[in-house]
Amino acid sequence: MQARENSGHDIYKSGYSIELERALNWTSGSGVILSQCEHEAAGHAVAAIVALSQDLLEPLEFEILQCAMSHSYGAPLPVEPDPTSGHLYLKPAAIQPNPMYVGATVVDTEVYESSMSEAVDTLFAMPYDLSEGQWLSWDVILVGNTLVRLPESLVPTTGDHLIVDDIDNRHRDVPMPLTRRPGGTWVGRDGLGRWSPISLRVHREFGNSDTDSHETTIRLDISVHWSVWWNEGSPGRDMLDRAVESLREMGWVTPGS
């Protein structure tokens, strides 16, 4: 049996991360509907995931948690989530559910723009016991499982796996499954709980609001767990940088810039 060649790449939980944020503002002389603003903010989060899906990754799960917001010290901040609050987790039927938080309603579906947008709409239509001065919002959006397009230079000519080293678990020559398609070759984690190539987290940061205006900032964390996409000057890093540039064109910026 012919030995499979190691690609020379690693899996590492804390390999490389990119933080981006987007400030959103709503103004109306007749007053703003705060829950509607939060609904639109979640839509911007979905749009960022969709942008990354164009040429870099394919989400295999989508998790969103409901919460309430209230004014605290003059700024809108999330209230401690109710244990019975809405919590949706989307994933294809063939994949075992693995939500980050307990209590999720699991929905078997392909994770496309339409299903993610529908999940947001559903979350904001779910009941929530709001106290006076509170409004409905979302707490966090997670994409922990992905397929990522492999640079052509790293695609093995034969076989159905990319061979890598798992640094966290001290495992060498780990075969990670490939998905070959007419438009390219994709790779994702195996069924043994290793890190996906890239994971995403979108959450609320801060904001201000009054009678006629509301503003909030949402933060996107892109965590790269495989060195294929973080090594400077590599084809994988070039793919990642192009995807991030598409987000910058949508109004996402580096925090503090």
* SS3 call for 231: coil
Residue 71 confidence (pLDDT) above 60: yes
Determine how many CB atoms are found less than 10 A away from the CB of residue 132: 5
Residue 245 confidence (pLDDT) above 90: yes
Q: Report whether 66 contacts 83 (CB < 8 A).
A: no
What is the tens place of the pLDDT at every residue in 163-192?
898 887 788 888 899 999 888 999 998 876
- Residue 2's pLDDT is what? 40
Map tokens 């339409």 to a residue: 114
- Residue 1's pLDDT is what? 32
Residues 6+ apart with CB under 8 A from 208: 74, 75, 76, 214, 215
Pair of tokens at residue 49: 């995931």
Angstrom distance (rounded) from CA 245 to CA 248: 5
Angstrom distance (rounded) from CA 152 to CA 228: 12
- Residues of the chain above pLDDT 70, percent: 90
Angstrom distance (rounded) from CA 226 to CA 239: 13
- Residue 3's pLDDT is what? 45
What is the tens place of the pLDDT at every residue in 5-64?
777 788 888 889 999 999 999 887 556 788 999 999 999 999 999 999 999 999 999 999
Q: State the DSSP code for 163.
A: E
Angstrom distance (rounded) from CA 206 to CA 100: 23
- Residues of the chain above pLDDT 90, percent: 57
Q: Output the pTM of the full model.
A: 0.92
- Residue 191's pLDDT is what? 72
Mean residue pLDDT of the chain comes to 88
- Residue 29's pLDDT is what? 57
Bridge-based pairing of strands 135-143 and 171-181 is unpaired
Is 67 buried (19+), middle (13-18) or exposed (0-12) by CB count in 10 A? buried
Q: Report whether 86 contacts 123 (CB < 8 A).
A: yes
Angstrom distance (rounded) from CA 193 to CA 123: 28
Residue 73 confidence (pLDDT) above 60: no
Angstrom distance (rounded) from CA 63 to CA 83: 16
What is the tens place of the pLDDT at every residue in 100-136?
998 999 999 999 999 999 999 999 999 888 888 888 9
CA dihedral 132, 24, 210, 202 (to 10 degrees): 30
Map tokens 């080293």 to a residue: 165
